[in-house]
Homo-oligomer: A and B are copies of this chain.
């Protein structure tokens, strides 16, 4: 079921500082910040040769990363996104295994404009997993 690691998401309290750290201290290529108000985050992509890191800063009042940053004020690894070829087939197979999909179970449109689902971290050893159909 799992394909490529599409991205590793890192929540940070100060996106400008984190962007500068990855660009200047770690010497990585970084994107311009993109505000995604419908997702409650502003993102910067750190482009690595084989995958990318997505730096996330809360945007607006109901950001999905706000609670994470309250628990982890310095920031931290937030989720891993894996690519799947058929997100509905993946969802149905996971449901049969007893794994919980967050929310309504219907895919939403993710930051890259493609259907995504999130899986309950308690069912995956403490890791929040995003599946993205590519």
Instruction: State the A residues within 8 Å of B (CB).
Output: 1-5, 8, 10, 12-14, 17-18, 21-22, 24-28, 46, 48-51, 53, 55, 72, 74-77, 80, 82, 93-94, 97, 99, 121-127, 129
Contact = CB atoms under 8 A, between A and B. Distances in A.
B2 A127 contact: no
B80 A126 contact: no
Contacts of A12: 125-126
Contacts of A99: 25
7 contacts: A5-B8, A5-B50, A13-B125, A14-B125, A21-B125, A25-B123, A76-B121
Copies in the complex: 2
Contacts of A75: 125-127
Contact of A5 (B1, B3, B51): B51
A8 B10 contact: no
A76 B28 CA distance: 25
A74 B122 contact: yes
A49 B80 contact: no
B80 A77 contact: yes
A5 B5 contact: yes
A94 B27 CA distance: 10
A3 B28 CA distance: 8
